[in-house]
Amino acid sequence: DAGVIQSPRHEVTEMGQEVTLRCKPISGHDYLFWYRQTMMRGLELLIYFNNNVPIDDSGMPEDRFSAKMPNASFSTLKIQPSEPRDSAVYFCASSFGEKLFFGSGTQLSVL
Closest CA to 35 of 110, 111, 109, 104: 104
CB atoms within 10 A of CB 100: 15
Q: Which of 50, 51, 80, 109 binds another protein (CB under 8 A)?
A: 50
Which CB atom, from 81 or from 102, has the smaller least distance to another protein? 102
Instruction: Give the Cα separation of 93 and 35 in Å (integer).
Output: 8
Q: Nearest distance from residue 65's CB to another protein, in Å? A: 17
Nearer to another protein, 15 or 97 (CB): 97
5 is a contact residue toward another protein (CB under 8 A): no
DSSP 63-83: TTEEEEEEETTEEEEEESS--
Query: What residues line the site for another protein (CB under 8 A)?
Result: 31, 33, 42-43, 45, 48, 50, 56, 89, 91, 93, 95, 98-105, 107
